[in-house]
Structure 1
Amino acid sequence: MRRNPNDSTLQSQIDELRTLLTANPLRSASVNEGRTRYYGGSELLIEDSNLNVTGTATIVGWLRVVGRIVLEGLGILTVNGLIELLGRMRVNGGGGINVEDGGDVVVDGGEIRAGDVVIRDGKVYVGGMVLDPDTEGGALTFPNGSRLEADGDNTGARLIAGSSVANVGDVTSLRKGSTSVIVSALGVTINTPSGQEILLQGAVRVPLASVPTYAGAGLPAGTLRLSTAGRLERADGS
């Protein structure tokens, strides 16, 4: 039986067709000076592999990441627009967070710096002032050394400058050393050091209705005296 010389050519074509039908052309593919486009609801799906981009990745729309994002290397992440974080943000490392070009907010190792405001170890430093919530229930110290602090026993606050103290609260008082003026619900008390005096400059007016009277002294009405109890009294003229 004679063999058809075209049989080898036909078999070769069949083999080539089989190769084309079973080929995986995208197993190793490259595009030079071109573009691969997916549209009409299609998607690029990468399973159990990696996506490597050398150059610039431009995303118009939403980038949704389920998992972790790790940024490594010496590059800079630039975001033009608003960043909204829903949840917590944790920064590990000593680099901190720098907000520059008009912001200048630095978060570094538990310390926050913004201009001349520094928050460190639970205290707030503003210029030469220090806000310390742990001193006397909360205190603000000024550059000159004076301090405004809470006064828990008096349910108020006190201002201290050297030996001078001003208190406001259940009792209001002014003190300079051992001299004091105390105002409470019971009245006004003035204390001076031993041997010192209270000096009143200018006219002094005491409403007569506030001074109790005494009778039977034969003195002109309004004559003042000190009672044995040390109280100021005025004669009623009898």
Structure 2
Amino acid sequence: MTRIDNLGDLNAFRAIWKAIDELSQKNDLQHAAIGRGGITVYGGGVIRIENGGLSVTGYAEITGQLRGDGTLIWTGPWAFTGEGEITGDLDLTGNLEVLDDGRIVAGNVRIEDGKIHIGRMTLDPSDHGGSVKFPNGAEVFTDGDTIQLVKGNSVVQVSDQYARLQNGGNVVQLDGDGVRVSPAAVGIAAAGESVATLGINSAGRLRRIPAAGA
């Protein structure tokens, strides 16, 4: 520190002015460091970063709100343990996994225990070879060979070999040999009703009967 014992000492005054000039041009905060005492911003003040960035190699702790209207880009892993809400559109280009036997709910769609529930309709890949169950009791399912539609006492069954329509014990089947019907599935001709061109053989096959003289 400069001390003036002689007010006529110009060199002392020059030294003071030089020190003041150097102090006014210094920018010690450009390479400043903050220790354990930390830094506190109060009274509505803000920390503004212009043409630069914020680098955190430790951790950032926020007990208030983190607000922004720009783009959030995150490349590392992350974890949210509290409740959250997304009100905008969300595009997911990777896989989504819910751990600890959790549920995924979106509107009236619920994914739980390997099943997809849409309202009162259920898609269950573990039932038979996969099934869709409807609120009215109807069901579509597949096994190793067929796909079937079931409602109460009626069944529609399709495979690569045949298509079958069944109600109770009455069956109508279409396959490579033609049409097969169970006897009860065909009504008895009424008196005077002509059935001369249609009949069923002993195997239950529906056959055309040539007209007389054909």
Interval containing the TM-score (normalised by the shorter chain): 0.5 to 0.7
Q: 1:114 to 1:203 in 2, by over 3 A?
A: closer
Aligned counterparts, 1:10-89, within 5 A: 21=28, 24-27=32-35, 28-32=38-42, 33-39=44-50, 41-47=51-57, 49-72=58-81, 75-89=82-96
Match of 1:210 in 2: none
d(CA) in 1 for partners of 2:195, 2:153 = 40
d(CA) in 1 for partners of 2:193, 2:139 = 44
* CA offsets 1:149-171 (integer angstroms, 9 cap, x no match): 113323xx212211111223435
Match of 2:172 in 1: 166
Post-superposition offset of 1:58: 1.6
Q: 1:172 to 1:205 in 2, by over 3 A?
A: closer
The 3-state SS of whatever aligns with 1:152 is: coil
Aligned length: 173
Aligned counterparts, 1:79-118, within 5 A: 79-99=86-106, 103-118=107-122
Post-superposition offset of 1:63: 1.2
d(CA) in 2 for partners of 1:232, 1:60 = 85
* Alpha-carbon contact 1:136-1:149 (below 8 Å) kept: no
Post-superposition offset of 1:82: 0.4
% same residue: 21
The one-letter code matched in structure 2 to 1:175 is: V
The 3-state SS of whatever aligns with 2:132 is: strand
* CA offsets 1:131-157 (integer angstroms, 9 cap, x no match): 211164211211x13111113323xx2
Equivalent residue for 2:142, pick from 108, 119, 133: 133
Match of 1:145 in 2: 153
d(CA) in 1 for partners of 2:92, 2:156 = 38
d(CA) in 1 for partners of 2:113, 2:194 = 63
* Alpha-carbon contact 1:117-1:124 (below 8 Å) kept: yes
d(CA) in 2 for partners of 1:202, 1:150 = 37
The one-letter code matched in structure 1 to 2:69 is: V
Q: Rg: which structure is higher? A: 1
* Alpha-carbon contact 1:174-1:180 (below 8 Å) kept: no
Match of 1:215 in 2: none
d(CA) in 1 for partners of 2:149, 2:184 = 25
* CA offsets 1:146-198 (integer angstroms, 9 cap, x no match): 111113323xx21221111122343553523x4577xxxxxxxxxx9xxxxx6
The 3-state SS of whatever aligns with 2:161 is: helix
* Alpha-carbon contact 1:164-1:174 (below 8 Å) kept: no
Q: 1:94 to 1:60 in 2, by over 3 A?
A: same
The one-letter code matched in structure 2 to 1:126 is: F
Post-superposition offset of 1:30: 1.8
The one-letter code matched in structure 1 to 2:80 is: L
The one-letter code matched in structure 1 to 2:84 is: L
